[in-house]
Amino acid sequence: MLDSMRKATSGTVAKILIGLLVLSFAVWGISDIFRGFGASTLASVGDTKITAQAFQRTLRMQMEAARQRFGRTLTLDEARQFGLPTQVLGQLVGDATYQTIADDMGLGISDDEVREMIFKDPSFAGVDGRFDRTRFRFLLQNNGYTEDAFVQERRGLATRLQVVAGLAGGARAPEAMLEMVHDFELEKRVIDAVVLTRDMLDDIPPPQDSALAEYFEANTARYRAPEFRKIALFEISPENVADAETVTDEEARSTYESRTGRYKTAEQRRVLQVLFNDTMEAQEFQKKLSDGESFEALIAARGLSTGDIDLGLMTKEALVDPAIAEAAFSLENDGVSGVVDGRFGPVIVKVAEIVAEKVTPFEEVRDEIKRDLALSRAETEVLDLHDAIEDARASGQTFEEIARKFDLTLRTVEAVSRNGTDPDGKVLTDLPASQELLSGSFESDVGIENDPLQSGRSGFLWYEVVGVTPERARTLDEVRDAVAAAWIDEEVRRRLGEKAEEIVDKLKNGGDFSRIAAEYDLALVTTAPFSRQDAASGTVENATEAAFAAGTGYVGTAAASALERIVFVVREAETPPFFAQEASAAAFGRQLDVMYAQDLLIPYAEKLQSDLGVRVNQQLLLQLIGQPRS
């Protein structure tokens, strides 16, 4: 849902808007501190207020988007380091700025258009592919929206897009800029390379105690025992609430009959099609058929095989020419049509195979339908149960009391680190909503009540921290084996680095790469051409960045992996010619147009914000992002 809630931002103009709102605010900066405003007001642009709730909701969505990019949930500390709070506030200030202009211009969008936008959003589709109000309610609730607030956001975004489209919708980046980007992105390299591995080194003896102790002291932080959290949790979901036995056969059959298309496979036919230059040629072919010559012999005489004219197994709707479809689906198996006036000329078709329409009997899908109906009903039950649990929490009931009251399974995770491992270093693979749960648990503390998390497609997860084991320094004896292994790996990297530099020196002094590779018993490989985006193939892929440091003849070295090293020579460096109308250039152009429009609009946004006045409640902002005031 997080992406789809900004579905309208997939176009160029929308990208200009979103990028501009962040960039312009970053350039303009935050002005003075609020005085005399409500405690829930975080910022204002003129008379337009930005609430703390809107900021928290948008920040949460941006952190979720970051999780999808990075593969894990960011902590609030990491979000601050990436500047996400500033970006989010910039976006909201920009929203308010352009909304003010849109309102002054009298721009708007009708209720019917807003309703249509929401109804067509696939995030709100149920099992039948149509808008599902229960799912709509679930997703809004789980992302901190009321229905009115969400509708208002959709309406506001549509009106703001009208402003930006009018100001910069036709902005285009200069062709010279496009050519520079084209050359950078599509420039290619071919390299000759060898990969140095641990196998080429002599055996490395275990480290002496003094060396091990010295290494451990220099890397103590790496071997600290992490902080662990003890977490209590329970969850609800349609899957564990649904009961298919509550759905009657009559209800299931009614659903089956309303979805007949889902359980029916249309008739298919294998159609052989012979295309002729003109009607006279087609009629001559048909006459020979009437005289007893076989279809196969006649197409062979035309230098064709059955495979050359086979359109494959197709439904009637899949045949793009209605005349051919009508003719083919009116024949018996092995039947041959008369001359058909096809879209691309006269044709004669033969039906080589018929696969009859198949309807899956109700009895075969009854259980599946009941499960679907039960799950759909259970989504409403989950929402009601969510509200009941939240009421119980608000009344002061404990997790144990709530679990007993609603017959839920209360689980306790005895010890888990921020990375999801137990004290033995084993990853806990059965944590529900694991990334969000771990992030939330390590942002929380004992005794703090946390908002429920989304679990699966339509479920909720409640959790609380019931214990904290602080991180601590381990002794060398606790991690001796791991430290010894790391010391040896470090020695491998050092020795491989020395070997790589030996080879680099020989190449720079005019040595032949083939002979040098043979001297070290290494395989010399030559890559296929690759760009910065493609990366070199195979074992030398990590040399990509280094390979673009200079042109033909450049000698370099790079880490191939933790325990491998690459030495390479740039064999070829080539930049393809630039053509502005080429597909790749057009793609670069669309991206540059967004950036170019932003450059044009930033001064406009700055002037608007300066005229309207932007104020930020710094104290509230620092509280919201968990950063104490200095």
149-196: pLDDT as tens digits: 788 888 877 777 777 777 766 667 777 877 887 788 888 899 999 999
Query: What is the per-residue pLDDT for 71?
Result: 65
How far from chain centre, in Å, is Cα 571? 36
Q: What is the pLDDT of residue 379?
A: 79
Mean pLDDT of 346-368: 88
| Mean pLDDT within 374-396 | 87
The two tokens of residue 305 are 């095989």
The distance between the two most distant Cα atoms of the chain, rounded to a whole number of Å, is 101
Range with top average pLDDT, 253-257, 280-284, 501-505, 550-554:
501-505
Place 305 in a pLDDT band, splitting at 50, 70 and 90. Answer: confident
Of 433 and 521, the structure prediction assigns the larger pLDDT to 521
Output the pLDDT for position 485. 94
Which of 233, 144, 44 lies closest to 612 in space, CA to CA? 44
Structure tokens at 445: 């503390």
Give the separation between CA 366 and CA 588, rounded to whole angstroms.
51
pTM over 0.75: no
Residue type, 106: G
Q: How confident is the model at residue 380 (pLDDT cuts 50, 70, 90)?
A: confident
Amino acid 446: pLDDT: 93
Per-residue HEC secondary structure of 377-437 comes to HHHHHHHHHHHHHHHHHHCCCCHHHHHHHCCCCCEEEEEEECCCECCCCCECCCCCCHHHH
Residue, of 66 and 325, whose pLDDT is higher: 325
Share of the chain above pLDDT 90, in %: 31
The DSSP code for 534 is T
Specify the range with the lowest mean pLDDT, choosing from 270-279, 431-440, 528-537: 528-537
Q: What is the pLDDT of residue 479?
A: 92
Task: Note the pLDDT tens digit of each residue in 525-584.
Answer: 998 888 887 765 555 667 888 888 888 999 999 987 778 999 999 999 988 887 766 666
pLDDT of residue 540: 62
DSSP-assigned states of every residue in 587-612: HHHHHHHHHHHHHHHHHHHHHHHHHH
Token readout for 280 is 């006279």
pLDDT digits (tens, 9 = 90+) for 227-253: 999 999 999 888 777 777 788 888 888
Confidence bin at 16 (pLDDT 50/70/90): very low
Residues 414, 434: Cα–Cα separation, whole Å: 15
User: In this structure, are residues 352 and 334 in contact, taking their beta carbons and an 8 Å threshold?
Assistant: yes
Instruction: Sort strands 453-455 and 310-315 into parallel, antiparallel or unpaired.
Output: unpaired
Three-state DSSP at 459 gives strand
Cα separation, 449 vs 465, in Å, equals: 9
Q: What is the pLDDT of residue 41?
A: 85
**What is the reported pLDDT for 39?**
53
Higher pLDDT, 276 or 243: 276
Q: Is residue 428 within 8 Å of 187, Cβ to Cβ?
A: no
Judged by DSSP in three states, 68 sits in helix
**One-letter amino acid of 330:** S
User: How far, in Å, CA of 376 to CA of 358, rounded?
Assistant: 27
Distance CA 263, CA 235 (A): 34
- Max mean pLDDT range (38-52, 79-93, 194-208, 312-326): 194-208
Judge whether 453 and 433 are in contact, CB under 8 Å. Answer: yes
Least confident of 57-71, 372-386, 512-526: 57-71
Whole-angstrom distance, CA of residue 612 vs CA of residue 101: 10
Question: What's the DSSP call for residue 43?
Answer: E
Q: What is the pLDDT of residue 19?
A: 43
| pLDDT mean across residues, the chain | 82
| Least confident range of 5-9, 142-146, 309-313, 561-565 | 5-9
Distance CA 502, CA 507 (A): 9
Which residue, chain included where needed, has tokens 């606790």?
478
Q: What are phi and psi of 125, to 5 degrees?
A: -80, 140
| Per-residue pLDDT, 30 | 34
The DSSP H or E segment spanning 258 is: helix 249-258
Which residue, among 574, 558, 579, 602, has the nearest Cα to 195 in the 3D structure? 558
Instruction: List C-alpha distances in Å: 179 to 12, 15, 127, 149.
Output: 20, 22, 47, 44
What pLDDT, on the 0 to 100 scale, is given for residue 493?
94
For residues 271-298, average pLDDT: 90
Range among 68-82, 346-360, 533-547 rated most confident: 346-360
CA distances 156 to 2, 107, 196, 581, 598, Å, are 17, 10, 59, 36, 20
pLDDT of residue 47: 80
* Alpha-carbon gap, residue 161 to 35, rounded angstroms: 32
Q: Which residue has the higher pLDDT, 99 or 8?
A: 99
Check residue 260 and give its pLDDT.
74
Distances (CA, A) of 617 to 43, 92, 623: 6, 14, 10
CB atoms within 10 A of CB 471: 13
Q: What is the full DSSP assignment across 444-482?
A: S-TT---PPEEETTTEEEEEEEEEEE--BPPPGGGGHHH
Going by pLDDT thresholds of 50, 70 and 90, the confidence category of residue 492 is very high
Phi, psi (degrees; rounded to nearest 5) at 230 = -100, 125
Residues 460, 377: Cα–Cα separation, whole Å? 16
| pLDDT at 197 > cutoff 50 | yes
The per-residue DSSP string of 269-333 comes to EEEEEEE-SSHHHHHHHHHHHHTT--HHHHHHHTT--HHHHEEEEEETTT-S-HHHHHHHTTSPT
* Residues 552/573, Cβ–Cβ less than 8 Å: yes
Q: What one-letter code names the amino acid at 209?
A: D
**pLDDT band with cut points at 50, 70 and 90 for residue 73:** low
Q: Per residue in 443-486, pLDDT tens?
A: 899 999 998 988 877 789 999 999 999 999 999 999 999 999 99
Query: Comparing C-alpha atoms, which of 80, 83, 71 is closest to residue 443?
Result: 80
